[in-house]
Structure 1
Amino acid sequence: MTNTEKKNNLIILTGPTAVGKTALSLKLANNVGGEIVSADSIQVYKHFDIGSAKIPPEEMQGIPHHLIDILEPKDSFNVMEFKKYAEEAMAGIYERGHIPIITGGTGFYIQALLYDISFDEETEDGYRKELETLGDEKGNDCLHTMLAECDPESAAAIHANNRQRVIRALEYFHQTGKKFSTHNEIEREKTSPYNFAYFVLTRNRAALYETIEQRIDEMLASGLVEEVRSLVDTYHLTTEDTSMQGIGYKEILGYLNGEYDLPEAIRILKRDTRHFAKRQLTWFRRERDVIWLDKDILNADQKLEDAIMTHLAEKNIR
């Protein structure tokens, strides 16, 4: 038996926000007998529906979805917890004789799962509290500047508003004297324990940005502002809560906090989402063994499905 045959099969379907991952994942799951595991840092939260573009249960077509609506709004969530929850879900999927399909746009989560990256969970409470206090007093940009000085590669990959990841990278440097980005590069050189196909959906930037703007307009019409207001009022959420650091939530929260008016919030949200999509594509271009699916070339759903099934057959994933 070959090493490939000994490994469990795994399908990854990812790409930038608003590129069309969800609809294609349903077709793929039906084609291969798959179950979907969400790799999204906000869809894990209950009640975070509109801003996360969470698929409603009635649209799941009976396909099991995992890592959706599993956390309360005040809970924290990070890559270590994602990996743990995802591996637990995948164990059950394999027991049922199905194939896990990892769907979502959080590249760091996908990388950690795919290459079984290990993370040191030990932290120094004193140093962490010092960083938290500094962030409270001088803002997230101050922490991000500190990270840029000691580990510019990590600073380029982590948004300043993602305080949790910025602090984790600073902690790692403080504890080891080494860059967190170097640790990640070493870890990601590991061979994957899975027989996998890693698909990344893409399309030309102008069309993607137009879709992003349309989606945001639809979210607003569907009640995004009311959703954020209700979450804040019900669960007393602030910018410090992990759930409120997601795009679509932090921008509207700024409006609700009186930092700017609604038109400005919408402008910032559209800008931040475009920038986020650009960062996602940059991340995926750095990854190994990626199969790019260009929606402008494969300009029909059937062409996309056929391309995917051809690649899966080549990798003996069925």
Structure 2
Amino acid sequence: MKKNVISIMGPTAVGKTNLSIEIAKKFNGEVISGDSMQVYKGLDIGTAKIKPSEMQGITHHMLDIREADQEFSVSDFKENVQKYINDITARGNLPIIVGGSGLYIQAALYDYNFSEAKRDHTITNKMEEIIESEGIMPLYNRLVEIDPEQAEKIHPNNHRRVIRALEIYESTGMTMTAYKENQSMESPYKPILLGLDMERELLYRRINERVDHMMKDGLLDEVKNLYAKGYENCQSMNAIGYKEFIPYFKNEQSLEETIELLKRNSRRYAKRQLTWFRNKMDLTWFHMTPATIDKQFANILDELAGILK
């Protein structure tokens, strides 16, 4: 029989972490972070990484497994998540994936194969020559033009990933995003996909408030520490909550402008997340409000009790 795997998705600041704890307590679960930036040590406040004091005794995985200057690809994500799913179910417990981008979650739950597209070294060599003579930006701008969704996930200085995304397009005629979408949607698991949503104005207010809380908790010092270590061009520093501060450190914008930019980028990301989840994945949606959140959590637990019995 296929293993049950719960995945809780939705925009930032909607209540996914609290729901995961409640599900884990009731159904003997263990939590797997679906946020590919929470794998990095030292990226705590800006990624809203759960604190040990908030875990309520629930085991959490995929936190602090990479140094901030290391890469972490979607293939790495898939491999690690599937390993934890197997380990958790082997102990007789329920795996609960919390958060993450739609593509990354799909890759893990539907076993995407990222090695099928063969390498074309002629194309690769040509692009490497362009980088050597003109720099990376002509290629990166090309990627932004043909596949903006993938470009957003890749730092311009990550030459290998930029080249790979363009190579797939040149050799198959499909963007990396489309290539991933067209893979089989048959899952080796029994995914239970839960989506949390919230009225847009309330969600945006919660996101703004979350950024203010992050600043009070020391986000500026956290990012400054990473920047001082020379991580400016690392994949980890391309995350929302970190990249916005680099112009501030270079005296190109004020702190007030930086905070407003972070809030705006967070709101826009939440909007893109919701669009993706609604268009690309078959989630069971639950609408959250401050007045009904406890009732909705109870409804979710009741529904899961029927599914998991």
**Are the structure 2 counterparts of residues 232 and 8 from structure 1 closer, same or farther at C-alpha, using a change threshold of 3 Å?**
same
**Are the structure 2 counterparts of residues 79 and 107 from structure 1 closer, same or farther at C-alpha, using a change threshold of 3 Å?**
same
**Are the structure 2 counterparts of residues 226 and 134 from structure 1 closer, same or farther at C-alpha, using a change threshold of 3 Å?**
farther
2:294 to 283, 302, 305: 302
1:147 to 140, 143, 146: 143
CA distance in 1, matches of 2:41, 2:257: 27
2:35 to 36, 40, 43: 40
1:291 maps onto 2:287 in alignment = no
**Unaligned 5+ residue runs, structure 2?**
none
Contact 1:144 1:155 in 2 (8 A): no
Runs of 4+ aligned structure 1 residues displaced above 6 Å come to none
Partner letter of residue 125 of structure 2? G
Partner letter of residue 304 of structure 1? Q
Contact 2:6 2:191 in 1 (8 A): yes
Alpha-carbon distance, 1:231 to partner: 1.6
2:103 to 87, 108, 113: 108
Contact 2:33 2:100 in 1 (8 A): no
**Are the structure 2 counterparts of residues 175 and 221 from structure 1 closer, same or farther at C-alpha, using a change threshold of 3 Å?**
same
What's the CA shift string for 1:199-258, capped at 9, x where partnerless?
Answer: 11110110000001101011111111111111222x3111x2010000000001221122
Equivalent in the alignment of 2:226: 231
* SS at 1:285 equivalent: helix
Alpha-carbon distance, 1:303 to partner: 1.7
Contact 2:34 2:98 in 1 (8 A): yes
1:175 maps onto 2:171 in alignment = yes
**Are the structure 2 counterparts of residues 213 and 109 from structure 1 closer, same or farther at C-alpha, using a change threshold of 3 Å?**
same
* SS at 1:190 equivalent: coil
Contact 2:143 2:151 in 1 (8 A): no
**Unaligned 5+ residue runs, structure 1?**
1-5
Partner letter of residue 87 of structure 2? G
1:14 maps onto 2:9 in alignment = yes
Partner letter of residue 75 of structure 1? Q
Partner letter of residue 237 of structure 1? Y
Equivalent in the alignment of 1:268: 261
Contact 1:16 1:201 in 2 (8 A): yes
CA distance in 1, matches of 2:89, 2:284: 24
CA distance in 2, matches of 1:130, 1:301: 55
Equivalent in the alignment of 1:126: 125
Partner letter of residue 180 of structure 2? N
* SS at 1:195 equivalent: strand
**Are the structure 2 counterparts of residues 135 and 243 from structure 1 closer, same or farther at C-alpha, using a change threshold of 3 Å?**
farther
Contact 1:45 1:70 in 2 (8 A): yes
Contact 1:135 1:143 in 2 (8 A): no
Alpha-carbon distance, 1:17 to partner: 0.9
Aligned-pair identity (%): 41
1:250 to 222, 243, 251: 243
Equivalent in the alignment of 2:86: 91
Equivalent in the alignment of 1:259: 252
Give me the CA root mean square deviation: 2.4
* SS at 1:198 equivalent: strand
* SS at 1:94 equivalent: helix
Alpha-carbon distance, 1:305 to partner: 2.2
- With 104-113 and 164-173 compared, the bigger mean Cα shift is at 164-173
Alpha-carbon distance, 1:41 to partner: 1.7
